[in-house]
Amino acid sequence: MRTRPNYAAGAAAFVWLLIIGIPLYALVNTAVQPQTTYTDKGPVSLPSAVTADNFRTVLDSGFPQYIWNTLVVAASTVAIVLALAIPVSYAVVRGRGWITKGVFRLFLLGLAIPSQAVIIPLFLIVNNLGFYDTLWGIVLPTAAFALPVSVLVLSGGMRDISSELYEAMALDGASPARTLVKLVVPMSRSAIATTSVFTALQAWNGFLFPLIMTQSEDTKLVTLGLYNFVSEYGANVPALLAAVLMSALPILVVYLFARRALVAGLMGAGGK
């Protein structure tokens, strides 16, 4: 629509490209260098000797297991959040009375509960439920703290379903359960996608819960594996940065094959 290109904005975007690009270049470049080259030339150099040794070091140190654990945690968290947040949002949007309003307000308030602030009692609860050092110990609290945003996003999406469609369901004599399955869920697909993407990334990013709730090798997540990797291989910077790259591999795959869905999903978190 616009007639002349915005050169100032283009220049600024180029500067931003450098800010994003140089560190990422340094990351990839260092990860494929032998350590001797790194200590000689630093992270921002032209690659002279390329090696896959660093990735081998990372693979041998248990990373595949950590990545698998993280995938399990992310998938379980998303499943629990959807199973709980969809009915809650449905009740909030379609229900009547002060109780459903109160439920919504409670979740809104929960939007700003920092998980850090309640980690001590949470640790106690997880311990008493017998979930310490299990993946459940990470999944359950992560899901609980993903609920407020999910309820907000889902109820936002459900509110946009027109009342004519509900009336049509009424003509069919549909029960609330049938209305949910046949109308509400299909019509709020994009909100469900947003919730899933956002929750999965939360689980993926989680650091505090794995740090506090687990201790053994079998239950270690990628983020924690990276943290331990620092103390173990601190001096071997190329291996460390190879580990950083490996930790991003699964999302990178998602990004390459489903970029639109991922981007659209995250965008939805902002509402309108």
Q: Is-contact 266 194, C-beta < 8 A?
A: yes
Q: Residue 87: which region, alpha, beta or left (left: phi > 0; alpha: psi -120 to 50)? A: alpha
Q: Minimum Å distance from CB 176 to another protein?
A: 4
Q: Residue from 179, 188, 199, 219 that binds another protein (CB under 8 A)?
A: 179
Q: In this structure, what are the phi and psi dihedrals at residue 220, rounded to the nearest 5 degrees?
A: -75, 135
Q: Which residue has the tokens 């029960």?
A: 175
Q: Minimum Å distance from CB 112 to another protein?
A: 3
Reported as half-sphere exposure (CB side, CA atoms, 13 A), residue 1 has a value of 0
Q: Residue from 59, 75, 118, 261 that binds another protein (CB under 8 A)?
A: 118
Q: Minimum Å distance from CB 71 to another protein?
A: 13
Using rule CB under 8 A, residue 140 touches another protein: yes
Q: Map residue 50 onto helix, strand or coil.
A: coil
Helix pair 7-31, 237-257: axis angle to 10 deg: 130
- The conformation of residue 160, written as its DSSP 8-state character, comes to T
Within residues 60-79, the interface with another protein by CB under 8 A covers none
Using rule CB under 8 A, residue 271 touches another protein: yes
- Number of residues counted as binding another protein (CB under 8 A): 118
Q: Minimum Å distance from CB 234 to another protein?
A: 10
Using rule CB under 8 A, residue 18 touches another protein: no
Q: In this structure, what are the phi and psi dihedrals at residue 36, rounded to the nearest 5 degrees?
A: -65, -40
One-letter amino acid for residue 56 of the chain: R
Q: Residue from 67, 103, 185, 187 that binds another protein (CB under 8 A)?
A: 103
Q: Minimum Å distance from CB 50 to another protein?
A: 19
Using rule CB under 8 A, residue 232 touches another protein: no
